[in-house]
Copies of this chain bind each other. A is one copy, B any other.
Amino acid sequence: MKSNVKPKIVIIGCGNLAWHLVKHLFSLKTFDLFVYNHQPNALLNKFKMKLNCFTGDSLSKIVSDADYYFVCVADKFVSSVSRHLKNISSSSVVVLTSGSVSLDDLHKNSINKGVFYPVQTFSVADDINWAEVPVIIEGNNVYSVKKVKEMGKLFSKKILQLKSAERLKLHLSAVLVNNFTNSLYVAADNFISNEIKNKEVNFKLLLPLIQQTTLKINKMSPVKAQTGPAKRKDGKVIKKHLRIIKNKDLKKTYRRLTELILAQQNISSSGSKQKK
């Protein structure tokens, strides 16, 4: 037996998640790492040079004897990419990493199919504290579950096994607090740039407030942390705000979220749907 050959991990895709998975796996020093893209991509070179990966610019060249095949491509390509993995070892697990793709969307060619969905946002420049990132796992059989769980534990203290339908719900929640929240930051940034003439006033002024908003919900439930004119039902301030918003999209968004807060606070005070 080849005793000093390390187990192999294949990553398909070379985006932000691929980068952070490989970066962490590289730090463990226990795997040989392979990164493939469906076509040449300048990013592959970074994986080779910085994280000591074998790289390939075509899916037809993928090695067949890896322990794990992580599919790190856009949701709509997961299915077609997994179809390429038809000649892999029967002990390999093909793993999807998305919040919204069903386990069944992995091609039926694969004997062992799994999910490894980290509930986190990834940009190349980020520092990721993997130990605290919840990793949602799933598998199509006992062996697959065991394998993705083992892999999950190399990353995080928080491994949770969920069915695809439940994972989709968690992914939706992540969209609310991450993508939608960020869109409000964009809205504020645009509003300040377009409407406030004083050059010293810019989006950065809001950073301490944004930071505190986040810290607060570490200590109390979000419904208790709610403040502001909508929470106080202060129609006068709401009208003042609506009067100074020119952008139609922002006006609609202001109205919608004001309505949302009013509904949330009513539910909360009646206690009829709030579980806490």
Contact = CB atoms under 8 A, between A and B. Distances in A.
Interface of A: 74-76, 100, 119-121, 123, 125-126, 128-129, 132-134, 158, 160, 162, 165-166, 168-198, 200-201, 203, 205-223, 225-232, 234, 236-237, 240-241, 244-245, 249-250, 252-254, 256-257, 259-261, 263-264, 267, 273-276
Contact of A257 (B194, B237, B244, B253): B253
A196 B168 CA distance: 10
A91 to B, nearest CB: 29
A173 B191 contact: yes
Given A126-B212, A249-B263, A180 B257 contact: yes
Given A184-B180, A214-B214, A208 B132 contact: yes
A5 B174 CA distance: 56
A259 B212 CA distance: 28
A251 to B, nearest CB: 11
A75 B234 contact: yes
A88 to B, nearest CB: 27
Given A74-B232, A180-B253, 5 more contacts: A128-B212, A174-B188, A176-B188, A193-B274, A252-B259
12 contacts: A100-B237, A126-B215, A133-B208, A134-B208, A165-B244, A169-B196, A179-B257, A179-B261, A186-B226, A189-B223, A190-B264, A252-B259
B169 A176 contact: no
Contact of A193 (B196, B228, B276): B276
B226 A170 contact: no
Nearest to A158: B205
